[in-house]
Amino acid sequence: MGGLFLAGQINGTTGYEEAACQGLMAGINAAFHVQKRGPFVLQREEAYIGVLTDDLIRHGVDEPYRLFTSRAEARLKLRHDNADERLTPKGMSIGLVGDSAWDRFNRKREILARLREALDGTRFKRSSIEYASVSQLLNADLGDAFTLSQLAMRQGVDRELIERLLPEDIRVGLREEELETALADSMYAGYIEKQDKAAERVNHHDSLKVPDSFQFRSISGLSNEMVERLERSRPQNFAQVRSIPGLTPSALSTVLVHLTAGQPRPIENN
């Protein structure tokens, strides 16, 4: 029904946060409807709100819906420390962010850009005093040279050590949360790249057939809940697997691995 905007249990969800984010989106889109503007939509890779609304619209619910991090394919990108980077430009574009907040955001964005450049560009060679000090502290050989981004990914390295090694002009006025965000980007970069490739792999296998004899219960990496959803739907191809309500990204990847590798061996009953 056009012009009707709802939030909360009537949409099949449970939980205060779930209702609150739906209320926010309902309010925005109700205003857009009155102004005869198109819908405001957040994508799955942009926000957990996008994950929730996409799940409800595409899959529906057969039990009260709660939003867990496991439902998000891009959860390494959907961190609390970078929520402003992801969503402030969106809020500004629809008139929900004031000028002073926008100015603060842009100042922070400039600081983070300089900080990330420093983490990637600050390099210490084996001959430097800093290299010797860090190598001794970690009791490890660090190769011919290392950048601060590379150092941040090593076990035993904390924020205080990275901060001490930053150029002085970067350290002045640097806030703890700004460094935490930049370091998280560095530490998760490799995992995010793998996550993006995994998502791309999943999206390119929609035509893959599911044999009639395929036994989902034989896949050791699936929970009982996921097995029940798959067996109830009996999908004929991977596109249908992806459309099953409530199937987690992890379950999708597990099923895809076994479909491309062949039917798993049945579990033997003891």
CATH number for the domain that contains residue 217: 1.10.150.570
Side chain identity at residue 217, one-letter code: R
| Domain with 262 in it | 205-270
Count how many domains the chain has: 3
Is 96 inside a domain boundary?
no
Whether residue 265 has pLDDT greater than 80: no
- At 201-246, the pLDDT tens digits run 777 788 889 998 899 999 988 999 899 989 998 999 998 898 787 7
* 196 in the same domain as 105: yes
- At 46-69, the pLDDT tens digits run 999 999 998 898 777 888 999 999
CATH at 189: 1.10.10.1800
Q: What are the residues whose beta carbons fall under 8 Å from the beta carbon of 135, sequence distance 6 or more?
A: 141, 142
Whether residue 264 has pLDDT greater than 70: no
Is 135 inside a domain boundary?
yes
- Per-residue confidence at 121, pLDDT binned at 50, 70, 90? very high
